[in-house]
A = this chain, B = another copy of it.
Amino acid sequence: MAQQPDFGAGPISSAVFRVARAHKALAARLLRETGLRPGQELVLMTLWRDGPQRQVDLVDKLDSDASTMVRSIARLEKVGLVHKEPSPTDRRATIVHATEASFHLRDEVESAWAELERLTVGSMSRSRRTEVLATLTDLESNLSAAE
């Protein structure tokens, strides 16, 4: 059983830290049966939703990093969930496609995310969920104002 670390200097930061940890761990556990690691499913979900696109588009949409994306795509390609094609109009760019095989995972991934959401909100009422979302949005806007 883990202690709950608390650093008096920053109760809210500490709490954000712990929530983030637990949330990521839960996501990892729910995605385990799909064979995906947390982060990879976001790439696939973006491709499923928006279709084939350049790596830089994925980077922008996921607020990720070009070098991280290179490796993430490479791993997804190695297991056949994604393939790359040169862009016909820009020889610097490669277009990333979700493969047919990846679509077989779609239901599983989306139900894992639904389960993650369900477990995260627990027994909160609808109005409470709205409050929670507003709180998270507030924190996000504070954090991005601080960049």
Contact = CB atoms under 8 A, between A and B. Distances in A.
Interface of A: 2-5, 7, 9-13, 15-27, 42, 45-46, 60-63, 110, 113-114, 116-117, 119-122, 124, 129, 131-133, 135-147
A13 B113 contact: yes
A90 B147 CA distance: 47
A118 to B, nearest CB: 9
A88 B22 CA distance: 35
A12 B117 contact: yes
A21 B110 CA distance: 21
Copies in the complex: 2
20 contacts: A3-B60, A3-B63, A5-B63, A9-B110, A12-B132, A12-B133, A13-B27, A13-B113, A15-B136, A15-B137, A16-B20, A16-B120, A16-B136, A19-B20, A19-B143, A21-B63, A23-B143, A26-B147, A119-B145, A119-B146
A2 B135 CA distance: 21
B3 A61 contact: yes
B22 A144 contact: yes
B143 A9 contact: no
B121 A142 contact: yes
Contacts of A2: 60, 63
B61 A129 contact: no
A60 B5 CA distance: 9
Given A4-B63, A119-B142, 10 more contacts: A3-B63, A5-B46, A7-B113, A12-B132, A13-B120, A15-B133, A22-B144, A26-B146, A122-B145, A135-B135
